[in-house]
Amino acid sequence: MLETLFTPKSIAVIGASRSAAKVGAIVLNNLIDGGFSGQIIPINPFTSELCGLACYPSLRESGAEVELSVVAVPKDLVEQAVRDSVAGGAQVIIILSSGFRESGA
């Protein structure tokens, strides 16, 4: 599992964004600028392309199998993003979200 975390062949960025200040945009741009050689699957329901890559409304709709999923969405969308990641074959899921402590149990 650690090999998948450190050297995945495919990464989904759930919450990829055009807005440079958003975490999803930062992750996507870092993967591209850093020279990640595997498949990158940006997920955003409001656009069909980001950074020259095909973008999908959900991981399920992409039909892609991913090894690692980075979830960068608001807390209300995290559970579905995790479910989609598992269904898409993700062996590792990284959640970059906030607002959980303030929401109670």
pLDDT tens-digit readout, 30-71 = 999 999 999 999 999 999 999 999 999 999 899 889 999 999
Between strands 10-14 and 68-71, the pairing is parallel
* Bridge partners, 18 (sequence order): none
| Chain centre to alpha carbon of residue 104 | 25
Q: Whole-prediction pTM value?
A: 0.90
Helices and strands (H, E) in the chain, number of each type: 4, 6
Task: Name the token pair of 50.
Answer: 């980001």
Mean pLDDT of all residues in 1-23: 92
Query: Which CATH number among 3.40.50.620, 3.40.50.300, 1.10.620.20, 3.40.50.720 corresponds to the domain 2-103?
Result: 3.40.50.720
* Residue-level pLDDT at 104: 59
